[in-house]
Amino acid sequence: MSKISTRERTDESEIMDDFELKGTDLEKTLYDLDNINKWLGGNKITLQGIKLLLRDHPKSEPVKIADIGCGNGAILREIAKWGRKENYKLELTGIDANPYAIEIAEKLSYYYPEITYFPIDIFQDEFEKMKFDILLCTLTLHHFKDPQIDELVELFVKQSKFGIVINDLQRSKIAYRLFEAFCAVFIRNEIARKDGLTSILRGFKKRDLQFFSNKISVKKQKISWKWAFRYQWIIQK
């Protein structure tokens, strides 16, 4: 068993960081990662945050929600289903720097006309011009280094009207070992396995998120631990 350290965030990159990754490898990996997220209850964390931010919002008024690093759009489709059930008028946007992931998302979202996708690098001017009511960052923040996170969170605050829901991984030895065991039984995809383990080491301690949160001025924010080894960071404006 290899020795690991979770004291600090690792600088190791993930295979999925390659925006040229495409084809069967990309499609299968996104599928497996989304299944892992679903099995471990990750989508509920994001939906819970959305419900909180929309608590006082009239259902008769449209709501613009964007998911940053949307992958194949799985979380947006879950939100669309919820919105239809609850009679919200949702305008959903998926943003990802990998154009091939966007192609997959568009194909899988054929029956969800309320979702629009854009292959955009969030550090480009095109993204800065976009405005939304709620910004989502689900399992995406850990892909960035600390200085980039400072920049992104500040940008997200400027671009959102109601607030932001960040859902990301806890950096934990227990989480790492449990994910190893989980993959040994349920996941055969080598990219999903390797990237999943690296993601945990790129994840966060609560003190990390508190450090970032102290740099922004908003009405209210809360960082909560959630199963399975997640942090939910809700920023209210």
Give per-residue pLDDT as tens, 107-163: 999 999 999 999 999 999 999 999 999 999 999 999 999 999 999 999 999 999 999
Global confidence as pTM? 0.96
Domain ranges of the chain: 25-236
Give per-residue pLDDT as tens, 38-86: 888 889 999 999 999 999 999 999 999 999 999 999 999 999 999 999 9
Q: Indicate the fold that domain 25-236 takes in CATH.
A: Rossmann fold (3.40.50)
Query: For residues 138 and 121, what is the distance between their CA atoms, to the nearest angstrom?
Result: 16
Under DSSP, is residue 68 helix (H, G, I), strand (E, B) or coil?
strand
Strands 115-119 and 90-96: parallel
42-62 b/e with 16+ CB inside 10 Å = b? Answer: bbbbbbebbeebbeeeeeeee
Query: For residues 179 and 123, what is the distance between their CA atoms, to the nearest angstrom?
Result: 31
Under DSSP, is residue 80 helix (H, G, I), strand (E, B) or coil?
helix
How far, in Å, are 11, 43, 126, 175 from residue 207 at the CA level?
A: 18, 23, 32, 17
Q: Residues near 76 by Cβ (< 8 Å), separated by ≥ 6?
A: 67, 70, 92, 94, 105, 109, 112, 115
What's residue 218's pLDDT? Answer: 95
Amino acid letter for position 111: Y
